Amino acid sequence: MIIPITKKIKFVEAPNRGRFPYCHCLFIDDETKVLIDSSCGKEDLLSLIKGHVDVIINSHFHEDHIYNNHYFDKTQIWAHELDAPAIKSLQLFKDYYGFKYFNAENLGDDFVDGIQLKESPVHNYIKDKELLDWGSTTMQVIHTPGHTPGHLCFYFEKDGVLFSSDIDLSRFGPWYGHLCSNVDDFICSIKKCIEINPSTIVTSHKGIFTDNIIQRLEDYLNVIYKKDQLILNALKKPMTLENLTKLQIIYGKNTKFTPFIKVQEKMSLYVHLKRLIKLNEIKFSEGIYYKK
């Protein structure tokens, strides 16, 4: 379903409330027709292909944002240069996730094969603070790394609308479950969104919010700090990454601990532990993490 936010900015509502493997997308219906991300449902996909799209902008390289790029064979695809390699190459996609560094290459192969992900060209790199003009609509590119190195948000200043992509305001909080994530960068990126102070925020998986936006962003940010404390509490007893993973601090005890979720739990902990080492809160020696 395509829902107008303004006359030119339209929300492309994904099936299943935007849950994986879908994401909500944004369509700018102006002189230049632009689709931000492509993993919408089949009905909207066919409508967009038929109506013509000049540019697809991928907010980042994740499968649930680039999945339908290949259907738009005459469309320019744009992304940030830090995420573009993982869009253009399935091998680099798996390397960005970090499967081989966690002895999970087979899981990575099965994941990519199972969703039938396809490589996609990237024709143009866009960068932080770039102002893109589509006709009567302009939007500013906001580089918001952390979730991925080249994660982008987009701000329509005239309308007060921020498309925040996977700064998604979920109760789960920020997701950083692969090797290329950076928790400190994620914190800075959420704070960028707070500083923008939009009147409307459009997220890739939780939809549109027009109320209590700053509080929602602060609550989302605070999930990181709560996980800081849970990890520090656990490390009162020195632990290996493997033993820490078994506690399910990131995904929670109610999540079914499949092999795939387990490796993402481990990756999430790994990048979070890097933050705590940098803050001098914990130490690492001979495979053991421990609180100072």
Domains contained in the chain, number: 2
Q: Is 28 helix (H, G, I), strand (E, B) or coil?
A: strand
- Per-residue model confidence as pLDDT tens digits over 177-214: 999 999 999 999 999 999 999 999 999 999 999 999 99
> Which of residues 193, 220, 247 is at a domain's end?
220
> Which of residues 220, 247, 282 is at a domain's end?
220
- Per-residue model confidence as pLDDT tens digits over 25-52: 999 999 999 999 999 988 888 889 888 8
240 lies in some domain: yes
Do both 136 and 264 map to the same domain? Answer: no
Domain CATH code at residue 70: 3.60.15.10
pLDDT at 292 over 90: no
CA distance 82 to 231: 29
Do both 171 and 284 map to the same domain? Answer: no
89 lies in some domain: yes
Do both 171 and 93 map to the same domain? Answer: yes
Structure tokens at 123: 């024709």
pLDDT at 18 over 90: no
**Per-position DSSP letters for 231-246, written without gaps between them:** HHHHTTS-B-HHHHHT
Q: Which comes out higher in pLDDT, residue 73 or 248? A: 248
Do both 172 and 239 map to the same domain? Answer: no
pLDDT averaged over every residue in the chain: 96
Q: What percent of the chain has pLDDT over 70?
A: 100
Closest CA to 56 of 80, 71, 77, 74: 77
Closest CA to 27 of 5, 44, 11, 38: 11
Strands 76-79 and 55-57, sheet pairing: parallel
Q: Is the sign of the CA dihedral 196, 229, 276, 253 positive or negative?
A: negative
**C-alpha separations of 184 from 1, 14, 106, 278, 279 in Å:** 36, 30, 30, 10, 10
Do both 76 and 100 map to the same domain? Answer: yes
158 lies in some domain: yes
67 lies in some domain: yes
Can you give the pLDDT at residue 271? 98
Q: Is 27 helix (H, G, I), strand (E, B) or coil?
A: strand
Do both 153 and 276 map to the same domain? Answer: no
- Which H/E stretch holds residue 201? strand 200-203
| Predicted structure pTM score | 0.96
Do both 155 and 261 map to the same domain? Answer: no
Can you give the pLDDT at residue 50? 86
251 lies in some domain: yes
Average pLDDT rounded to a whole number, residues 96-103: 95
Do both 211 and 244 map to the same domain? Answer: no
Q: Which residues, at least 6 apart from 32, have a Cβ–Cβ distance to it below 8 Å?
A: 54, 55, 134, 135
Give how far the C-alpha of residue 102 lies from the chain's centroid of Cα atoms, to the nearest Å.
21
Give me the domain span that covers residue 50. 2-220
Do both 145 and 287 map to the same domain? Answer: no
Do both 238 and 171 map to the same domain? Answer: no
Do both 164 and 259 map to the same domain? Answer: no
CA angle 207, 154, 128 (to 5 degrees): 145
Task: Please state the φ and ψ torsions of residue 253, each to the nearest 5 degrees.
Answer: -65, -20
Do both 210 and 148 map to the same domain? Answer: yes
228 lies in some domain: no
> Which of residues 220, 251, 274 is at a domain's end?
220
225 lies in some domain: no
**What is the length of the chain?**
292
Task: Please state the φ and ψ torsions of residue 74, each to the nearest 5 degrees.
Answer: -110, 15
